[in-house]
Homo-oligomer: A and B are copies of this chain.
Amino acid sequence: MSGAGAVSDKIMADLVGNLLVAQSGGPTAVINASVAGVIQEAGKHECIEEIYGGLNGILGILNEELIDINDEKARTIEGLKYTPAAALGTCRYKINFAKKPEQAARDMDRLFEVFKAHNIRYFFYAGGNDSQDTAQKIHEESIKRNFEVRVIGVPKTIDNDLPHTDHCPGFGSVAKYNAATVMEVAADVSSMATDDGACCIIEVMGRGTGWIAASSVLAKRAPSDAPHIILVPEIPFNEEVFLARVKATVAELKYCIVVVGEGLKKVDGTEYSADSSRLDAFGHPVLSGAADRLAELVQGKLNTKTRTIKLGYAQRCAAHYASLVDMQEAVACGEAAVRAALEGKSGFMVKIVRTSAPGAPYRWKTDLHDLKEIANLENMIPRDWLSADGLMPNEKFVQYARPLIEGEVKVPTEGGLPKYVTLEKSRVEKTLPPR
């Protein structure tokens, strides 16, 4: 057993044992739907004995913080499909062999102690780049240590920056919520627009890539509709081009709606929002984001009244307006992960493959991709999916993103508000000494 292939051959036979599922990184509106998919699929197969959830990702697993999913009501598991955020808890902890090799080795020893103590033979980790890297490392260690555990990564990230998958569960829902918000804010701002003109700048998430910002283009049903400018990190910010476009838009429509990705970059590659020159009362840099800085620019140079909106976490957990397609794909990714492991696969991430041609009715399927080719890679928007001036995604982007926001998830309500579920979290008894 010296490589992934060897393991794959060996584990074609039925592997009997327990399953562990955990969540990692920033939550999304549908990461729980993936966990529901794992749990419901696992429940169909006898060789999977116990189904455990790891609390707060790998960090909780290292502390032997496991819960017994079979103690949860079936209704609760079904409810995970419309419940936002990470029901199992999440973490940003990374087993980092490159930077902290000794700590990483200790962590890996401990992790396999936990796996052995609870006979974990199936491990599913829902997360983004870092989490897939962790999954890959665990897969490699299982081979080295000759302890068979089948490891499959489940893709998750609102940022949509994982490579090799057509898109990531979580992205469609944030795209849908943000586009609806842009549409509504535009109705508001335009109805107040007078000859003085008005500008509104909406800051959205996405870190180093502009997928989320760009997807707000879906709010456009006519060329003059908002958003009028979309600033993405892939295109270095050009102040002159930006201000000229704001000015022209206000002159034409009396208002201008700008969407900016939080990770917008200057030409020198540094973040546009970073501003170490202004310190607060405690000597820390002032907490102004990209939108606030752009607003200062527009007000200062164009004297146009400018308001900002920073949706922040609100956008990534807005399950009250999640995409049905996104939710269904998230469930399917969880199910596919379990089926792959049962077929003997390990060291793969589930990916979404688009099987329809651009413009044709949307069709997709799940497939697997080697984790070695996923970890720590960042998928950017292709340059030819953006307009020549870089201020607006073009039809190629729209055809890509449009199907991902289709349909609404039905969320039960109580007292006029969403009725989300919470897990009982019945703890699995610890058998190891504390970490």
Contact = CB atoms under 8 A, between A and B. Distances in A.
Contacts of A361: none
A89 interface: yes
A176 interface: yes
Interface string A248-259: 000000000000
Interface string A167-203: 0000000001001110111011111111000001010
Given A190-B85, A191-B87, A287-B288, A311 B313 contact: no
Contacts of A408: 413, 416
Contacts of A88: 191
A187 to B, nearest CB: 4
Contact of A415 (B85, B292, B405): B405
Contacts of A284: 296, 299-300
Contacts of A26: 192
Interface string A362-392: 0000000000000000000000000000000
Nearest to A312: B309
A339 interface: no
Interface size class of A (residues with CB under 8 A): 35 or more
Interface string A399-431: 000100111100001111110100000000000
A280 interface: yes
Contacts of A218: 415-417
A119 interface: no
A45 interface: no
A184 B84 contact: yes
14 contacts: A84-B188, A85-B184, A184-B320, A185-B317, A188-B317, A219-B417, A278-B286, A281-B296, A286-B296, A287-B295, A310-B312, A311-B314, A321-B321, A407-B416
